[in-house]
Amino acid sequence: MHELTLLYGVVQKVEQVCKENDLDRVDAIVIEVGEATSVIPEFLQDGYEVISDDYDFLRGSELIIERIRAIGRCRGCGTEFPVVANKGLCPTCGSFDKDIIEGADFFIREVRVMETQ
Ligand SMILES: [Zn+2]
């Protein structure tokens, strides 16, 4: 499953952050998922609950998913518009030909650790 591959990538990066910052564990991982990616947030969440149990530094932590709106720029007239709300069509000229300029990414925004310990 696509989402699991992504999750293992996240786990590896967070593990690295832990090593670099001398952390035993994290409390939450915040990731951003663009609407224009094929990632299904529910699958990520479900997968995380299973995977996080396998790692000491993740056990009991939370995965917070932030959805980023997909923005397209029409190749015909240059209009920038929210892709999903317009069903992929340019609201100005009706063209389907566009570049996705925002919301095509998946990345880790933040690794949260409780200060008090
Ligand atoms: Zn247009």
Give CA–CA dist 14/37, Å, rounded: 21
Instruction: Measure 101 CA to ligand 1 centroid, in angstroms.
Output: 14
Q: Is the pLDDT of residue 100 over 70?
A: yes
**Confidence at residue 25, expressed as pLDDT on a 0 to 100 scale:** 93
Q: What spacing in Å lies between the alpha carbon of 88 and ligand 1's midpoint? A: 11
How many angstroms does the Cα of residue 75 sit away from the middle of ligand 1?
7
pLDDT in the model for residue 2: 84
CA of 76 relative to ligand 1 center, distance in Å: 5
Integer Cα distance of 72 and 63 in angstroms: 28
Q: What is the DSSP letter of 115?
A: S
pLDDT at 35: 94
Residue-range domains of the chain with CATH: 2-112 (3.30.2320.80)
SS3 11: helix
Q: Give the whole-angstrom CA distance, residue 85 versus residue 69.
A: 10
Mean residue pLDDT of the chain comes to: 94
* Residue 94 neighbours by CB distance under 10 Å: 11
pLDDT exceeds 80 at position 115: no
